[in-house]
A and B are shown apart, each in its own frame.
Chain A
Amino acid sequence: MNLKKYLVRALHRLQKGPGYTYKELLVWYCDNTNTHGPKRIIKEGPKKKLMWFFLTLLFASLVFWQWGILINTYLSYNVTSSLSIGFKTMKFPAVTVCNANPFKYSEVKHLLKELDRLIEAALERILQPTAGNGSENVSPPLDLELWNQIPLVLIDEHDKDNPIILDIFETNQTAGGNETAMGNETKKKYKLAVKLCSPQGSENCTYWNFTSAAQAVTEWYILQSTSILSKVPLQERIRMGYQAEDMILACLYGAEPCNYKNFTQIYHPDHGNCYIFNWGMDEEALNSSNPGAEFGLKLILDISQQDYIPYLSSAAGARLMLHQQKSFPFLKDQGIYAMAGTETSIGVVVDELERMGYPYSDCTLNGSDVPVKNLYSQYNTSYSIQACLRSCFQNHMAEICGCGHYLFPLPEGVNYCNNEDNPSWAYCYSSLRSSIKQRQICIDSCKETCNDTQYKMTISMADWPSEASEDWIFHILSYERDMSTNVTLDRNGIIKLNIYFQEYNYRTISESAATTIVWLLSSLGGQFGFWMGGSVLCLIEFGEIIIDSLWITVINVISWCKGLKQRRAQARYPDAPPTVSELVEAHTNLGFQHEATGALPRDEVLPPEPGTPPPNYDSLRVQPLAVLGPDSDAE
C-alpha cells in the first residue's frame, strides 16, 4: 500500500514536471538546459536545427573523447621534477675511512703462514722452474692439504683443442720438463687456472681460467684466505685489524678538534676495521653551515703500508666513502681511494633525488615491502639497494651451498664457509657468482629507495707533506701516537684528507605529481566548458532527465497494463503520435505548417472553423508568401 502511495505521489510530482512523454521531456530539457548546444536545436529554423543537432552531437562526442584522454593521462601517474640548487645548512655526510688492507700482517701471520709458503713455492715453480729444486730443499715440507682443497693448475695451450692440465706440485719430473720447454718456447701459451671441484668428486671439476697469472694468484689467495679467516671469531678479527688510535692520527672538524673517539668502529668484511665519523647512530648528526675547506673535516691517517698482507691487497691507500647517516658503507661500490703521501681534498655536493612512491614510481620508502630479508639490519642501518642485493646473494648462497660467504653478514643459523666443513664451497660460490640467472632474480626482487642521496665529489690531490715540512710533521705525529722520539711514520703510510662542502652544496631533484585530482577536475571542466559550456550541474540535469524518462517508462508500462482492455475499445489517438521534430516545430513554427501527408487527414478531423479570429500577423510576417504558393497548388 505504501509503495502504491509512493508511486502515486511520484506520479503526481512527475506530472508537475516538464511533461510525461519522452518528446515533451526532451524538448523541455533542450529548452531549459544550461549546456549550450541543445538550446539552439529547438530555437532555430529546420535547417539550422539539423546543423545544431549534429554540432551538439559532435561536441558531446569530442568532450567524451577528450575526457577519456585526460583520465588516461591522470591514471598514468606522471611526475614532474623540480630542481633546486644552492647552499643551505646540511648534515655533514657520514665519512667512513678504512685501510685498503683488512688486517695487520704481523697479527695474521700465524694464520696465513702456510698459505704464503705455498704460494711462494708455487710462484717459484712457475717463474723459475730450474732454480725451484734448490730452494725447496731448504724450506720445510709444504702442507699440501690446503693446496689440494683448491689447487692452482697450469694449463698448457700449445694444442688449442686438447689443453694439458699440469698440477704445479705434482709429479715434479714431468712438470719440470714441461716448464723448461715453456721457458724456451712461446711462453704465453701457459695459463694459470683455479681448479674448483664439486662435492661429487674430482671428476666434476671446473677450471676458472685466467689470462694473467697475477690475477689468478690474487683470486686464489682470496679464496683460500677467506676460508681460513672465516674460522676466526669476530672479536679476534677486530683485534687483528687496525685500531683507531693507530690509524687516525689527527682530526679537525671545522674549528673543533676531534679525535679517534669521535669515530664509530664497524667491522667491514672487505676492509677490516673501518671507522665512521658522524654516523649519527648514538648522537645527533653534525651540521655544516659554511662552505669551504676551513669548515670541513680534516683528517690525517696512517695506513702503515709495511704491514700489508702481500698477496691479499696489492693497492695501497685508504679507502673512504661518504654516505648518509645510518646507512651501511658499501666501500667496494661507492668508495674511493686516497693515496699515501698525498693530501686529498674532496669537495662535496649533495645530490638528492626525492621521489614519490607508489603509484608514481616503483621505489620503496624503507624496504619493508621488498621480499628479501635485509641481513644488514643487524647493523641497525637503513635499507639500501646494495644491502638488498648482497642480502639476496647471501640468502641464495646459504640456501644452495649451505654456508654463508665471509664477505656478507650471516643469516640466522648459518655459518661462514670454510674448506673443512664445506669442501665444495668455492665451486658453489663461483658458479653462483657467475650465474646470470641468480643476479637477475636479485635485481628483480630488489627495489631502489625513493630518496636517493649521492655525494658528488670533486677530488684533487697534492703531495703531502712537502719536503720542507716532512721532518717535523712526522716527528710530531710519531710522538703523539707512540710517545717516543723515534719517527715511526713515513711517506708511504701517511694520508691527509680534507672533506668539505662546496659553494653550492645541494642539488635536489624532487618529484611532484604532474596530474593531481584537482588538475583532472579542472581539465575535465575546461573541456566540457570549452565545447559545450557545461558544468557538473549540467550532468546532474542530464541525470535528472534520465530519471524522469525512467519514470515515464514506468508510467507508460502501468498505463499500458491498465488500459489493456480500454485500448481495444477506444483509440485514444486516431492518428500517429507526433514525432519529436513535429513537436519541436510546434514550439517554434508558429505558423504550424504540417507536412503534406499528415496535413490533409488532420484537417478533416479538425472541427470546423469558427467565425473570424483575430488575424495572425505573426504568420504573415514570418511566412513568406511564396511558400504558401505550392501549398495552395497542391490543394
Chain B
Amino acid sequence: AATAPGKKITARLKRTLPVRGPQAPTLSELMRWYCLNTNTHGCRRIVVSRGRLRRLLWIVLTLSAVGLILWQCAELLMNYYSASVSVTVQFQKLPFPAVTICNINPYKYSAMKEYLSELDKETKKALETFYGFSEGKSKVRRSVDEWNSTGSNFFQQIPLLKVEDFSRTATDLHSGQKRKIEGSVFHKDSSIVNSGDSNDIIGFQLCDANNSSECALYTFSSGVNAIQEWYKLHYMNIMAQIPLETKEKLSYSADDLLLTCFFDGLSCDKRHFTRFHHPLHGNCYTFNSGENGTVLSTSTGGSEYGLQVVLYIDEADYNPFLVTSTGAKIIVHDQNEYPFIEDIGTEIETAAATSIGMHFTQSRKLSKPYSDCTETGADIPVENLYNKSYSLQICLHSCFQKAMVDSCGCAQYAQPLPAGAEYCNYKKNPNWMYCYYRLHEKFVKEQLGCQQICKDACSFKEWALTTSIAQWPSAVSEDWMLRVLSWDKGQKLNKKLNKTDLANLMVFYKDLNERFISENPANTLVILLSNFGGQLGLWMSCSVVCVIEIVEVFFIDSLSIVMRRQWQKAKKWWNDRKRASSGKAPEAGDVEGQGHDNPVCIDEDLPTFTTALRLPLPRDRPLPRTPPPNYSTLRLETAFTEQLPDTLELSQH
C-alpha cells in the first residue's frame, strides 16, 4: 500500500466523491422525483393532485405557464435593442458656430469679361433672335451681323431648340433648320408638356459624341430656365479650365465683401475670417472657422453679443445671366462641417438688416444595432472628397463625383476633385455633358446606389434659425450711415455707397440653452435579466437554478437512463446471441464481470433489492450477512448535548 500513494488518493477520491447516476431507475420515476423535488411551482401540483381532471388541469396550467414564459421572454429579447430618447437642456457658455458668408454672385463680372465675353455675346444674340430682346438697338444690330458672319461654336456644341411637341420635330433657333428629334426627351418642367400648349417649349439637345444617334433633349417650359441652364453649362465648362489661384483673384476679397464686423462687443476684421473657395459661389468667408485652433464662444445671448457685419454687395458687378437675384448667402454650420451653401444657405437681402436668432440643438443617435447610422463615416465605402467630417450630403456628393469620374472620365465642376481626376471641359471631354445629364438622371432616380450606400451621421449639430428683416438704414440715419460707411470703404469721397449695395447681418444666440437630444439604450443586460427573472418568477416561481435542474433532469439524467436501458438491452441481446451461438448456459462469472467489474457499468447498473438477490455471490468473499443496523441516525443525535423530541424528529427525516 505504501508503494502507491497516488493510487490510494484516487481510491479515496473515488470513495468520497463517487460518480453516481440518477437515483431513479426509470424515466417515469425520474419525472416523479423531479416533480416532487423541483423548485418550480406547477410540477408538484401535477404529481400531488388527485383525480384525473385535476391533474389534467394542472398539466394544462403548467404548460400554459411555460408557454407564456417563452412568449414573454421572446418579446423581451426582441425589444432588447430599443432606444429611449432623453432631452437635456443645459445652460452654458456656447461655442459660436462657423458662419460662412458668400456673395450670391461668384465672380466680379468686370474681371470675368475676358473669359465670358464670347459666351455673353452669344447669349445676348440668342435673346435677341429668339425673343426680340435687346439692350441697345444699335449695338445688337451690329452684333447680329457679326454673329452671322462668324458663326457660333457654343451653339454648335449645344444647340438651343424650339420644340413642336407632337410632331417630334424641333427648330434649331440658330440655324433655323428643322430636325427630327431622336432619342429620348427629358423635360425639366414636365407638366407643361401635357397641356398641349407647346409652342413655347424650348430646350437643348445633348448628344453622345461617339454615337450621334444617342441624343437627349432637355426641354423647359420657360426660356428663362432654358437660357440659364444653357448658360450655366457653358459657364462651368469655361470655369473648369481656369486654375484655382486665378479664380480666387477673380472673386471678391475679404475687404471687398466685409465693411464692418463686430463680435461680442468687440471689433473684428478680416483676420477673423477664413477664405473658402466655393466652385459655384466664388470666394466665401467663414467667420470663426476654427482654423487657428480656437473657436470663439459666447457667454451672453442677445443681438448685441453676436456677430454683426455689414456686407458690401456690388450689384453693378453682377453677372446678368448666371445669377438673377441680389444679396448674400449665409450658412451657419459647425467648424468641422462643410458648408453646402448652394443647398442649404439662407439668402440675405440688401438694404435691410437681417437678424438671425439661433437656437442650438445637438442630437445623438445610437449606432448599430439600434439604428443604421455611422459615427465617423469610416465604414462607408465611399471616399470622402471633402476635407471635413462626414455627413450624408458629403457622402452623396462624393459618391456622385466618383460615379462621374468612372463613367465620364472627368469630374463635375461643382464638387471637389478626386485624386488623379480633372474637371470636365469640352476640349478634353467633348462628351461630358451628355454623360453628366444621363448620370444625374440616374442619380436622382436612385439608380446609382448612392442613396443606399450613404447613411446618415449618428450625431449632428443643428442651429435652428429665426430670421427677421428690418429696414436698414432707416430713412433718417441713411445719410450719415452711408457717408461713414463710404469712408470706411475708403472710396473716393465723391462716390457714395448706395444702400442697395449694402446688407446688414446679425447672427446671435437667442438663448444659451443647449438642447441635447440623445438616444440611450432602453435596456441593459441587467434589466433584461431582471425582466426575465420577473417573468419566470411570476408564472412559475422559477429561476436559473430551475433551468439548471431542468437541464440536469431532462437532458443528463434522462439521457443516462435511456442509455442505461439501451446498454442493458444491447447486453442482453449480446448474451442471447452468445448463448445461441455457443449453445451453453451463460457462466455466472461473465455476468458478474460485466455487472460489477465493468467500469462503465458500475455506476449505472444499480442493483435493486430483487436483482441483488438474484446476483450470484462472489465466491471468495464471506457470505453476506445482515448488514449492521443503521445507527447513524442515533449516533448523529448524540452530538447534541440535550435532546428535544421535535429536533429528533426533524433530523430523522
Contact = CB atoms under 8 A, between A and B. Distances in A.
A332 B470 contact: no
B650 A28 contact: yes
Contact of B88 (A16, A338, A361, A523): A361
B205 interface: no
Interface string B446-488: 0000000000000000001011111111111101110111011
A620 B488 CA distance: 115
A164 B262 CA distance: 23
B628 A308 contact: no
B630 A619 contact: yes
A16 B644 contact: yes
A223 interface: no
Interface in A191-243: 209-215, 217
Interface in A584-611: 586-587, 590, 592-593, 595-596, 606, 609-610
Nearest to A389: B300
Contacts of A10: none
Contacts, number: 364
Contacts of A565: none
Interface string B522-536: 001011011111101
Given A443-B299, A627-B18, 19 more contacts: A187-B487, A210-B267, A309-B476, A316-B470, A333-B303, A448-B513, A452-B513, A492-B471, A527-B526, A527-B530, A528-B533, A529-B533, A533-B543, A592-B635, A609-B629, A612-B626, A619-B627, A624-B18, A625-B607
A80 B630 contact: no
B476 A306 contact: yes
Given A334-B357, A627-B18, A630-B11, A586 B530 contact: no
Contacts of B475: 305-306, 308, 316, 492
Residue of A21, A46, A461 contacting most chain B CB atoms (<10 Å): A46
Interface stretch (B89-97, B171-179, B234-242): B89-97
A336 B356 CA distance: 9
A386 B511 contact: yes
Given A385-B91, A619-B627, A308 B86 contact: no
Contact of A339 (B470, B530, B607): B470
Interface stretch (B46-54, B126-134, B544-552): B544-552
B480 to A, nearest CB: 6
A372 interface: no
A524 B530 contact: yes
A274 to B, nearest CB: 16
Contact of B487 (A37, A66, A213, A492): A213
A509 B87 CA distance: 8
**Interface range on chain A (Cβ under 8 Å from partner):** 35 or more
B19 interface: yes
Contacts of B504: 314-315
B37 interface: yes
Contacts of B515: 353
Given A211-B260, A443-B512, A314 B472 contact: yes
A457 B11 CA distance: 88
Interface of A: 15-16, 18-21, 24, 28, 36-37, 39-40, 43, 45-47, 50, 55, 59, 66, 69-70, 73, 78-81, 83, 100-101, 105, 120, 123, 126-128, 183, 186-188, 209-215, 217, 305-306, 308-311, 313-317, 330, 332-334, 336-341, 344, 353, 355, 361, 363, 385-386, 389, 430, 433-434, 436, 439-440, 443, 446-448, 452, 454, 456-457, 459, 461, 492, 509, 511, 514, 522-535, 572-573, 577-578, 583, 586-587, 590, 592-593, 595-596, 606, 609-610, 612-622, 624-627, 630-631
Given A43-B37, A443-B299, A615-B626, A339 B471 contact: yes
Contacts of A595: 16
A131 B177 CA distance: 67
Given A187-B490, A212-B267, A311-B480, A36 B469 contact: no
A100 B469 CA distance: 12
A285 to B, nearest CB: 23
B43 interface: no
B350 to A, nearest CB: 13
A536 B319 CA distance: 82
Residue of A308, A587, A625 contacting most chain B CB atoms (<10 Å): A625
A353 B517 CA distance: 12
A436 B299 contact: yes
Interface string B245-276: 00000000001000111100111110000000
Interface string B630-648: 1111011001111010110
23 contacts: A19-B647, A46-B16, A47-B19, A69-B524, A105-B476, A127-B487, A183-B493, A309-B476, A314-B353, A314-B473, A316-B474, A317-B471, A333-B357, A333-B511, A492-B475, A526-B534, A532-B544, A586-B632, A587-B651, A606-B635, A622-B606, A625-B596, A627-B18
A36 B39 contact: yes
A454 B641 CA distance: 81
A240 B483 CA distance: 29
B468 A577 contact: no
A21 B640 contact: yes
Interface residues of B, number: 121
A446 B91 contact: yes
A430 B642 CA distance: 94
B89 A626 contact: no
Nearest to B485: A214
Interface in B585-626: 596-597, 602-603, 606-609, 612, 626
Contacts of B266: 434
Given A46-B18, A526-B531, A215 B267 contact: yes
Contacts of B86: 78-81, 511, 514
B513 A531 contact: no
B61 interface: no
A527 B359 contact: no
B588 to A, nearest CB: 15
B89 A355 contact: yes
Residue of A20, A214, A389, A448 contacting most chain B CB atoms (<10 Å): A214
